[in-house]
Amino acid sequence: MKYYFVQYQSVREAEKTCEILLLMTAVSSPTPVNPDNDLRCWTLLKRKQLEVVHTSLFPRRSIQTQSIFSQLEHQVRYQPAHLARVRVFGRWHPLPRQQAGYGDCGVSYTYSSVTLPAEPWIPILAELRDMVEKVSGVRYNFVIVNRYATGDHFVGQHRDSDPALDPTAPIASLSFGATRDLRFKYCGAVCTTDEESENTTAVNVALEDGMLLLMKPPTNEFWYHSIPIRKKCKEVRISLTFRRLKKTCLSHAGISGDVGSDCGKEGASDCGVLTTS
Ligand SMILES: O=C(O)CCC(=O)C(=O)O
């Protein structure tokens, strides 16, 4: 993958450069902001054992993102309510969002005792996967589509930790619609120095319409991630999280860990107690 981190004199200067790139994008074409991956504006977030980069794959609130959002709303088939549930510490709970899985033939994704088999790729998802692959340099074979109807919908803090998940491939998250926070919380060894504890305090990234975020290794090993409840949010958000699973047949991936649980332990990933705005 190629990154260009440019040192700007001011935020305004950086914004101006990004604006020029945005203007270069034909509004009607479903191509990313910068198809050749040159001079892409990436923002880097780095903490102890955390490396996350994000960029605008599409201009925010643009004709492009609105068209993609509408196609997703019309074409994605979410799990029926009786299947959309998770088992947490032995008890079943309704999934606090809608969810669908698409991917290569034979791939399925299992978390909290639920298996999400891959439906065959539909054109809009295959097209977005190809764009994400082009800018990330990673081949993905599975995507989870999460639909958060309002800010009451959420994902509890968890790590994606099943061995079938290729640990060398970043998890790619592409967002459309409402802005929601992605919250990272450190779950590694207890910190001793002030510098270390600053480096491991929880951090939020606002995931905006059209934004692509890459959660690079070893982040998923040492940090929980979640989409906390945001009571004030009344709009729909749809996220596509692309993953690479090691096997394309009979593979599965899991989500483990929750508030108060140790890293790597099977735990309550979707019913955790979460902060609200
Ligand atoms: O909606 C998102 O961006 C995050 C979803 C998530 O945490 C997951 O699929 O593991």
User: Residue 75 sits in a domain of what CATH number?
Assistant: 2.60.120.590
Whether 156 has a pLDDT exceeding 50, the answer reads yes
Model confidence pLDDT, tens digit, residues 57-76: 999 999 999 999 999 999 99
CA separation for the pair 72, 65 (Å, rounded)? 10
- Evaluate whether residue 73 is within a structural domain: yes
Whether 273 has a pLDDT exceeding 50, the answer reads no
- Evaluate whether residue 272 is within a structural domain: no
Out of 24-28, 41-45, 140-144, least confident range: 24-28
Backbone angles phi, psi at 3, to 5 degrees: -120, 145
- Evaluate whether residue 106 is within a structural domain: yes
Pocket probe for ligand 1: among 143, 173, 270, the residue whose CB has the most ligand atoms within 8 Å is 173
Question: Any residues with CB less than 8 A from the CB of 202 and at least 6 apart, and which?
Answer: 183, 184, 185, 186
- Evaluate whether residue 197 is within a structural domain: yes
Q: Give how far Cα 136 sits from Cα of 76, 125, 133, 171, 193, Å.
A: 24, 16, 5, 10, 35
Residue 245 CA from chain centroid, whole number: 15
- Evaluate whether residue 262 is within a structural domain: no
Is the distance from the beta carbon of residue 97 to the nearest atom of ligand 1 less than 6 Å?
A: no
Q: Which two tokens stand for residue 13?
A: 């200067």
Structural domain including 161 reads 42-256
CA separation for the pair 8, 15 (Å, rounded)? 9
CA separation for the pair 232, 255 (Å, rounded)? 28
pTM for the structure as a whole = 0.79
- Residue-wise DSSP of 261-272: PPTTS---SSS-
183 or 15, greater pLDDT = 183
| Residue ranges of E strands in 153-216 | 155-160, 171-177, 180-186, 203-207, 211-216
Ligand 1 centroid from CA 148, angstroms? 11
- Evaluate whether residue 223 is within a structural domain: yes
Whether 42 has a pLDDT exceeding 60, the answer reads yes
What percentage of the chain exceeds 90 in pLDDT?
Answer: 57
Q: Give how far Cα 135 sits from Cα of 1, 69, 104, 153, 200, Å.
A: 7, 20, 20, 29, 28
In this prediction, residues 20-32 reach a mean pLDDT of 38
Q: How many domains is the chain partitioned into structurally?
A: 1
**Which is the closest atom of ligand 1 to the Cα of 225?**
7
In this prediction, residues 236-250 reach a mean pLDDT of 82
Cα angle for residues 71, 76, 80 (degrees, 5° grid): 150
41 or 238, greater pLDDT = 238
- Evaluate whether residue 2 is within a structural domain: no
- Evaluate whether residue 10 is within a structural domain: no
114 or 43, greater pLDDT = 43
Model confidence pLDDT, tens digit, residues 94-139: 899 999 999 999 898 877 777 788 999 999 999 999 999 999 999 9
Model confidence pLDDT, tens digit, residues 195-210: 777 889 999 999 999 9
Ligand 1 centroid from CA 153, angstroms? 12
